[in-house]
Structure 1
Amino acid sequence: MSTSSPTQQSGTAARHKAGTVAFASYIGTTIEWYDFFIYGVAATLVFRVQFFPGFSDLAGTLAALGTFAVGFIARPIGGVVMGHFGDRVGRKSMLVVSLLMMGSATTLIGLIPTYDSIGIWAPILLIVLRLVQGAGVGGEWAGAVLMAVENAPAKRRSLYGCFPQLGLPSGILLSQLAFLLLTGVMSPADFAAWGWRLAFLTSAVLIVVGLVIRLRIEESSEFNKVREAGQIEKLPVVEVFRRSPLQILIGSLASIAAPAIGYLVSVYMVSYGTATLKLPTSTMLWILVSVSVAWLLMMLAAGLAGDRFGRKATFAVGAAVGVVWAFPLFWLVDTGSIALIVVALLGITVANSIMAGTQPALITQMYPVRLRYSGSTISYTIASILGGGLTPLLATALFADFGSSTAVSALVAVVCLISLAAILCANSRILHAEQPASVPATGKSAHPLTEGTVG
């Protein structure tokens, strides 16, 4: 009877750990994006009436989407703080903190009295809790992708790294299903009055599930090696700006398009479909459900492609697809045909999937391990603010100003062009941080150019 060698057993154990961590990262990010996106859907459907009743339809919608964008203001704060401790204390602990912040804020949003009950304090409380949400998600992405990437086999980092990204379409899917269920079992009046709150209160249950999963996973193996070698930086955020400024610039610009497309599809299209195309809310939600299922599969395929054909080349293809599809997107959506709207959104989510599927491994590998949480968070946060936070707001304003979806298409094309140009400008020294052969216990490298900085 044959038995496996210690090396084979070790390899099997490593793959099992990598798979477990990737799955845990996926579940956690799904819960956090559910929290994030139910806010976006509620902002387009009910917040205008519940928290800004004195505004006109357009002004109320802009105000509600403005509170959605406010969450991105807190992202840099949460990202910097969690990046600092993520590089000093560990990735796992920050994932627990971010989940608690997001879940608690989401649950409390479900309990806020309306404007009619407490006046101006209603939108103020809404904004404060939205800021807490933003701070929590600000440090979530880097922690989740680092746990997945740093535990992954060397030749499968794009595939394993895309698992946290699957939380985006999964969170969209869950948020749409939640609102479909609620709008399907209650009258429009009941849903607007109190039913929407149930989607937020459900987060309390999801927090428990997420915490149980995240508390059981092990710390990143690469971070453990850095910690055991005494290579922890005292001020990683300061060091990453000093040593890797080009990585921050390229990583931020390259990452703009993916969140812009994600929020355009998940937030703006709900408002556009119901207000402009006069489609039933349930119809738009079902469209997003069907698209989100395909989105998951496409992102997994993109992760595999990144490992097979190279991350830079794969990412560039995704950005190019976004540029090409920006105008057909609204040509098809504006027909009002359900089938053509699905085709339109599938096309633009192909662009998002290809970029987002390779993004974690692509961006995180720009930074050395001991600066990686801070560097990745900064790049992702800047991109999310410029691409994701402002896109629904700008799209709404542009359509109102020009009265045509062509202006929104131009916005999408420009954003994707920025990401395409950035990634094409990245050379191998930007994309691959070199780890020094030895680093003094102080954490200061004797050779700064080996830290992934381009001279």
Structure 2
Amino acid sequence: MSDQPDPSRAAHASAGFTPTGTIANPHDRRRVVVATVIGTTVEWYDFFIYAFAAATVFATLFFEPMGSEFAQIVSFFTVGVSFLFRPLGAFLAGHFGDKIGRRPMLVLTLLLMGVATTLVGLLPTHAAIGIWAPILLILLRVIQGISAGGEWGGAVLMAVEHAPKTKRGVFGASPQIGVPIGLLLASMMLALMAQIAPGDAFLEWGWRVPFLLSIALIGVGYWVRRRVSESPVFTEIAERKEESRMPIVQLLRNHLPLVIVAALVFSGNNAVGYMTTGGYMQRYATAVPGPIELDTSAVFWVVALSGVTWLISTWFGGWVSDRWGRRNTYIVGWILQLVGVFLLFPLTNVGTVPSLAAALVILTVGLGLTYGPQAALYSELFPASIRFSGVSISYAIGAILGGAFSPMIAQAIFQATGSTMGITWYLAGMTIIGLIATLLLRDRTGIPLGPEHEAEQAKSPIYGLSKA
């Protein structure tokens, strides 16, 4: 073996990184964590305020001619439509993220989401421009879906590929906690607007303010993300000139079973999580006439509280996965999530704000343990040269199978049966699917992530398969 220094390693050292992806100084470490948290928070704030508006006002403002019940189902359907376009966003961001880098995709997806969200806040309603109002609303939701499909993969790889090997779980939790923070901010903004502009005022203009405020958040997110360094793993891939020419083709040709199993893992979490983040529980608790008819502002504050507990449990899930392993953390999380699913409606149907708060807080404990480790789990499943494509496509497919239409499915089940029991069994079934998919995977906690270990990374983590 030659004693001459490796130029690529020297380049990484001079930039403050080692080629294994370990951040060499605390300042760069904080910058990466802050960039992934803030950027993801902005993206998902935008995403959630749409879902909450779909649960509370869009049926009246954009779909009222369809009749009250069907209008609400269609309103929830527009939430799910964006998920159908996440694979397109994942395809584009994954392809270019594996070819030109993680950071450019993060900046682009942030701007795309922000512009679409701001324009929703400016849209005329059906009463003003007729059929064009719902058409334009759905088009902007599609753009949000494309952005969200590309956002997640880039954010988690920036966090995990920069992280020390023993701290990938907690670093990977940084973009994950951006989701509950986005939920918290969206809920708080809508709660405040429901108080500032109650009743008809909220319907006329109050709902628009959280959408329009997105433009300021985008400026902050853009500034932060422009300052973060490119992933050291991609930098090494580029220096070795080992970028995949067609990463998506290579992924689907050689790793399709892994993509499916990874997608099923996420679907179990996403279906249950979207009962809150997709707006269904808000609608269920506030509809007039409805099962419990709680105050809209109070319900938004309860959802904000659940965002806090989800944030804590998500961070803890990432942190503890570095100690227990990703697989063991998930298994504990699925069990706790199942408990939360069976308690969700019995507690909610008590009909008080504290009982709703208890239901959502208990649910978020399991959700956090099955969400916090996901960034590290996914990053350790796929080879370096196609990793962006692998994590993005798996995430997008899992979102379609899980959360895309879970609010709409829940609404349809309740309208057809008049009972929440069918919804509970649906959510329990999705949780069990996630558990089974997790049990199919070997634990790869701590596997080397650099391109020099591609042969080891390419071995299938699925039990019973020698190749992915």
In the alignment, which of 161, 176, 200 is matched to residue 172 of structure 2?
161
Secondary structure of the residue aligned to 1:112 is coil
Kindly provide the CA deviation profile for residues 186-220 of structure 1, in whole angstroms up to 9, marking residues without a partner as x. 23212101221111111111111110000010000
Aligned counterparts of 1:296 and 1:434: Cα–Cα separation in 2: 27
Contact 2:159–2:175 (CA under 8 A) maintained in structure 1: yes
Q: Shift of the alpha carbon at 1:323?
A: 2.1
Which residue of the other structure, out of 255, 259, 263, is the alignment partner of 2:274? 263
Q: CA RMSD in A?
A: 2.2
Deviation at 1:340, TM superposition (A): 2.1
Which residue of structure 1 lines up, in the alignment, with residue 412 of structure 2?
A: 397
Deviation at 1:346, TM superposition (A): 1.3
1:396-415 superposed matches below 5 A: 396-415=411-430
> Within 1, Cα distance between the matches of 2:165 and 2:409?
40
What are the superposed Cα offsets for residues 205-239 of structure 1, whole Å, 9 maximum, x if unpaired?
A: 11111100000100001111111111100000011
Query: Are residue 74 (structure 1) and residue 68 (structure 2) matched?
Result: no
Which of 105, 112, 121 in structure 2 is aligned with 1:101?
112
Q: 1:127 to 1:157 in 2, by over 3 A?
A: same
Give matches, 1:222-233, under 5 Å: 222-233=233-244
Q: Distance in 2 between matches of 1:420 and 1:109?
A: 37
Q: Do residues 237 (structure 1) and 252 (structure 2) align?
A: no
Q: Which amino acid aligns with 1:378?
A: I
TM superposition shift of 1:428: 4.6
User: Which ranges in structure 2 are unaligned for 5 or more consecutive residues?
Assistant: 1-12
- TM-score normalised to structure 2 length: 0.90
Matches for 1:35-46 after TM superposition, within 5 Å: 35-46=46-57
User: Hey, what does 1:302 align to over in structure 2?
Assistant: 317
**Partner secondary structure for residue 256 of structure 1:** helix
Q: CA deviation at 1:262?
A: 2.0
TM-score (norm. length: structure 1):
0.93
Aligned pairs for 1:283-362 (under 5 A) are: 283-362=298-377
Identity %: 39
- The secondary structure found in structure 2 opposite 1:370 is helix
- Tell me the alpha carbon deviations over residues 114-139 of structure 1, each in whole angstroms, 9 at most, x when there is no partner: 11111100000000010000000100
Q: Is the 8 A contact 1:99 1:210 kept in 2?
A: yes
Q: Quick check: 1:299–1:354 contact (8 Å CA) kept in 2?
A: yes
Cα shift at 1:369: 1.1
Q: Which runs of 4 or more aligned residues in structure 1 lie more than 6 Å from their structure 2 counterparts after TM superposition?
A: 9-12, 433-436
**Cα distance between partner residues in 1 of 2:315 and 2:292:** 32
For the residue of structure 2 that corresponds to 1:426, the secondary structure is coil
Asked if residue 282 in structure 1 is aligned to residue 294 in structure 2, the reply is no
Alpha-carbon displacement from aligned partner over 1:333-369 (angstroms, at most 9, x marks no partner): 1111322221211111111100111111001110011
1:127 aligns with 2:138: yes
Equivalent pairs counted in the alignment come to 443
Establish whether residue 363 from structure 1 lines up as the match of residue 374 from structure 2: no
Q: Given the alignment, which residue of 406, 409, 434 partners 1:419?
A: 434
Q: Does 1:50 align with 2:61?
A: yes
Question: Is contact 2:56-2:283 (8 Å) kept?
Answer: yes
Query: Following the alignment from structure 1 to structure 2, what is the Cα–Cα distance between the partners of residues 22 and 50?
Result: 39
1:179 and 2:194 are equivalent in the alignment: no
For the 8 Å contact 1:395–1:408, the answer to whether it is kept is yes
Matches within 5 A, 1:191-270: 191-266=202-277, 267-270=279-282
Quote the residue 1:92 is aligned against.
103
Q: Which residue number corresponds to residue 144 of structure 1?
A: 155
Once residues 175 and 212 of structure 1 are traced to their aligned partners in structure 2, the CA distance between those partners, rounded to angstroms, is 21
- Residues 305 and 438 of structure 1: CA distance in aligned 2, closer, same or farther (over 3 Å): closer
Q: 1:434 to 1:195 in 2, by over 3 A?
A: closer
Label 1:183 to 1:211 Cα distance change in 2 as closer, same or farther (>3 A): same
User: What is the aligned partner in structure 1 of residue 6 from structure 2?
Assistant: none
